[in-house]
């Protein structure tokens, strides 16, 4: 495909200063629309646990669930690079687990890359997945799979020690072979420091304006997922409201016998040569 976005494209974008526009997607139709809108990276995030499955957090998401959605997204054959999220406990227990599960996302899910959360502790895992020829995106900061360890969704890297640790982690992920890193829920000053320190693109979410790119959850920015949203989400639409209005109008017309009319009905009489 012409202009297909690959890991090399993203590395080039870092060099030229072109920002990376990333977004999540979990199904075929949304992926087609997103791709026509000029997105560079589509993430089949484990946020699908909340958005698609109604779980309280990302922890219950299984490999089977992620693969199911990766298949739907990759069937749209987008120009954007498709990244599959590695669910909780698909890479934490052993390097072997991690390589096998990353392989399943590519082989069964059809994705072109995987993402996993965590710092230097995951260097051997990342090295092994990259060695298996699977491009890896790292994820640092407020990593939602560590929710219980953090004691809630708390902004990370606010004190000098933890900020230094995150800068070192970003360097370790780059050296391990990651071609990009998501920075989530950290002060914008720290995100800027990390962005200047590494030569792979940083993709921010709740990390301020100085990252090399941004990612948002599609259903948050469209105003479909209407739970209280974090400060960093900008709603570009109120699709939730519009869906409710449209469905309410339909229900009202059905109940009042105004839909369907004859214009939406077939006739046994031939009209204009058509049935």
Task: Summarize as ranges the residues that interact with ligand KIV (CB under 6 A).
Answer: 24, 43, 45-47, 85, 182, 184, 205, 215, 217
Residue nearest to ligand KIV (CB): 45
Provide the minimum distance between the beta carbon of 140 and ligand KIV in the complex, in angstroms, as a whole number: 11
Please name which of 194, 218, 245 lies closest in space to residue 35, comparing C-alpha atoms: 218
Nearer to ligand KIV, 219 or 261 (CB): 219
- CA atoms of 123 and 128, how far apart (whole Å): 9
181 DSSP assignment: E
Please name which of 220, 216, 215 lies closest in space to residue 19, comparing C-alpha atoms: 215
Residues paired with residue 24 on neighbouring β-strands, in sequence order: 43
- CA atoms of 65 and 58, how far apart (whole Å): 11
Cis peptide before 199 (omega within 30 of 0): no
- CA atoms of 221 and 61, how far apart (whole Å): 22
Please name which of 241, 232, 180, 236 lies closest in space to residue 206, comparing C-alpha atoms: 232
Annotated catalytic residue 196: no
Nearer to ligand KIV, 39 or 217 (CB): 217
Nearer to ligand KIV, 102 or 253 (CB): 102
**Inter-residue contact 101 to 91 (CB < 8 Å):** yes
Provide the minimum distance between the beta carbon of 137 and ligand KIV in the complex, in angstroms, as a whole number: 9
Provide the minimum distance between the beta carbon of 267 and ligand KIV in the complex, in angstroms, as a whole number: 49
User: Among the options 65, 112, 174, 184, which is catalytic?
Assistant: 184
Nearer to ligand KIV, 15 or 142 (CB): 142
**Inter-residue contact 43 to 115 (CB < 8 Å):** yes
User: Which are the catalytic amino acids?
Assistant: 184
């Amino acid at each position: 495909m012409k202009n297909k976005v690959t890991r090399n494209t993203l590395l080039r974008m870092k060099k030229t200063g072109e920002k990376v526009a990333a977004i999540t997607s979990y199904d075929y139709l949304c992926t087609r629309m997103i791709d026509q809108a000029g997105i560079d990276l589509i993430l089949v995030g484990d946020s699908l646990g909340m958005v698609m499955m109604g779980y309280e957090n990302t922890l219950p998401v299984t490999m089977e669930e992620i693969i199911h959605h990766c298949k739907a997204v990759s069937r749209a054959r987008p120009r954007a690079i498709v990244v599959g999220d590695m669910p909780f406990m698909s890479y934490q227990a052993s390097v072997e687990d991690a390589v096998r599960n990353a392989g399943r996302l590519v082989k069964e899910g059809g994705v072109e890359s995987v993402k996993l959360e965590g710092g230097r502790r995951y260097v051997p895992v990342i090295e092994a997945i990259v060695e298996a020829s699977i491009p890896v995106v790292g994820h640092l900061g407020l990593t939602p799979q560590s929710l219980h360890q953090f004691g809630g969704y708390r902004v990370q890297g606010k004190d000098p020690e933890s900020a230094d640790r995150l800068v070192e982690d970003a360097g370790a992920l780059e050296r391990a072979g990651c071609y990009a890193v998501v920075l989530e829920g950290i002060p914008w000053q720290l995100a800027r420091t990390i962005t200047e320190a590494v030569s792979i693109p940083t993709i921010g979410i709740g990390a301020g304006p100085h990252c090399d790119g941004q990612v948002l959850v599609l259903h948050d920015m469209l105003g479909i997922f209407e739970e209280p949203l974090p400060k960093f989400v900008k709603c570009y639409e109120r699709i939730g409201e519009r869906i409710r209005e449209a469905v309410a109008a339909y229900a009202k017309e059905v109940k009042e016998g105004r839909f369907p009319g004859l214009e939406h009905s077939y006739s046994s009489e031939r009209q204009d040569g058509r049935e």
